[in-house]
Amino acid sequence: MTDRTAKKAAIKRASASARNAMDQLDADTLDKLTALYRDAVDGLHNIIDSFADSDSAVPFDTLQALLAAAESRLKQLEAQRTALLNSSMNAAALLGVKPFLAAAARLTSNIIAIPEQAITFVQRFVADDGLQLSDRIWRTDNHARQIVRDAINQAVIQGHSASRAAQELLSSGQPGNSALQAKLKANAAGPLKKTIEQQLFGGVGTPYDNAKRLFRTEINRANGQAYQATAFSHPDIIGTRFLLSPNHPKHDICDMHAHANIYGLGAGVYPQGKNPWPAHPNTLSYTEVVFADEVTDSDKQGKQAAISWLNDQPIAVQESVLNSRFKRIALQKGLLPATAIATPWRDLKPRLEKQGHNTDTWGN
């Protein structure tokens, strides 16, 4: 084995090792993120308890102080979370260049600067929805603050109003009804704590859930950006392969990116600047270097457009990749352009209707 061949093999092995390390970094980071949100919820619980009276109700005259204390705890969470995100993105970017360190003498760019450049790219990257990382962080933080403010305001004010109503009824000699009795308990500490925990730390769509998605997406983006930037500094690397994770849960657009031979470099292999990774947020996929001598004559002759690859797939795979039954029908009718493969059906439907196609009748 020549020295050149040995170095190529070493880069391949180091790339696989770095992917495993990224999986571990992803898991460790999400565990730490979970702990931060758990601590924040516990902290908010303690704050609410500290303002509750002997009957476990939160008095109206403590409302502003309670809101300020809750806001302060959320700001602490934001600072801790941002620090964790920054450190994890840095670690991910360093893992991106690590496979190439042994071949640094053959690289033409300054490898030391690439991790920092990758992080800057992530921070400035504008997604299809027009948002940057800072916008997403702000939205997540604002959502959390709104949830906590609304829960506290509603509980305390509703309980206070019910208490005043009850007093007026008692003064007039009238009995209270069951609905009023329920409202009297609105400012109880227990239900308020439960509401905040469920809305802040619960399931899909909560600030915690959105933070997890943001972390996985941006940490992986930093890693992939650093990896590809370093890879194409090597003169023998012709492209990068869109590589599905072993934990890839189901068919989606990533399967097309990983299996279509669009550039004649082999299945899922793309030249510099053309790899569609990451194909969506929360991705579990990676990229892997491909050396020029790995591209076979069969790869070159097997070049195939993405639409052609889709047409060759079973119906179930087509629908999963396109994420729409109606887009699959458009494909079969020859009405789906390559530029619309990733376009949501809600956006594609009016375009087709302007062309005279009654999509409401499709599938009937």
Distance CA 318, CA 309 (A): 10
Tell whether 194 is covered by a domain.
yes
Tokens 């600067």 — which residue? 113
Identify the pLDDT of residue 104: 59
CA distances from 189 to 153, 157, 179, 196, 206 (A): 13, 13, 19, 11, 21
Same domain membership, residue 149 and residue 100? yes
Regarding whether 334 and 199 lie in a shared domain, the answer is no
Q: In what order do the strands lie in the sheet with 286-291?
A: 269-270, 237-243, 286-291
Domain contains 228 = no
CB 272 within 8 A of CB 317: no
Q: How far apart are CA 255 and CA 248, in angstroms?
A: 9
The series of mean pLDDT values per 10 residues for the chain, 364 residues long, is 80 93 95 98 96 83 92 98 97 94 61 91 90 94 95 76 43 47 58 93 93 95 94 91 82 91 96 91 89 95 94 93 93 92 92 92 75
Nearest to 326 by CA among 343, 338, 305, 308: 343
In sequence order, the 6+-apart residues with CB closer than 8 A to the CB of 79 are: none
What sign results for the dihedral spanned by CA atoms 306, 311, 317, 319? positive
Residues 76 and 161 in one domain: yes
d(CA 48, CA 148) in angstroms, rounded, equals 11
Q: In 3-state terms, what secondary structure has residue 252?
A: coil
322 is a domain residue:
yes
pLDDT of residue 174: 47
User: Do 68 and 192 fall within a single domain?
Assistant: yes
DSSP 8-state symbol, 354: H
Q: Would you say residue 224 lies in a domain?
A: no
Whether residues 110 and 174 fall in one domain: yes
The 10 Å Cβ neighbour count of residue 269 is 26
**Residue 229 included in any domain:** no
For residues 173 and 26, membership in a common domain is answered with yes
Last residue of a domain, one of 210, 227, 261: 210
What gap in Å lies between CA 19 and CA 23, rounded to an integer?
A: 6
Is residue 144 domain-shared with residue 288, that is, in the same domain? no
Number of other CB atoms surrounding residue 209 within 10 Å: 16
User: Which tokens go with 52?
Assistant: 């509750």
- Distance (Å, whole) CA 200 – CA 206: 5
SS3 265: coil
- Please count the structural domains in the chain: 3
139 and 154, same domain (yes or no): yes
Q: Which two tokens stand for residue 314?
A: 């079973």
State pTM to two decimals.
0.85
Q: Which two tokens stand for residue 239?
A: 């492209």
Alpha-carbon distance of 330 to 318, in angstroms, equals: 11
* 204 and 330 share one domain: no
Residue 243 pairs in a beta bridge with: 286
256 and 135 co-located in one domain: no
**What's the domain range around 344?**
309-361
Are 73 and 196 found together in one domain?
Answer: yes
Token pair belonging to 236: 């023998």
Partnered with residue 237 across adjacent β-strands are: 291
Do 112 and 181 share a domain, yes or no? yes
Strands 269-270, 286-291: parallel, antiparallel or unpaired by DSSP?
A: unpaired
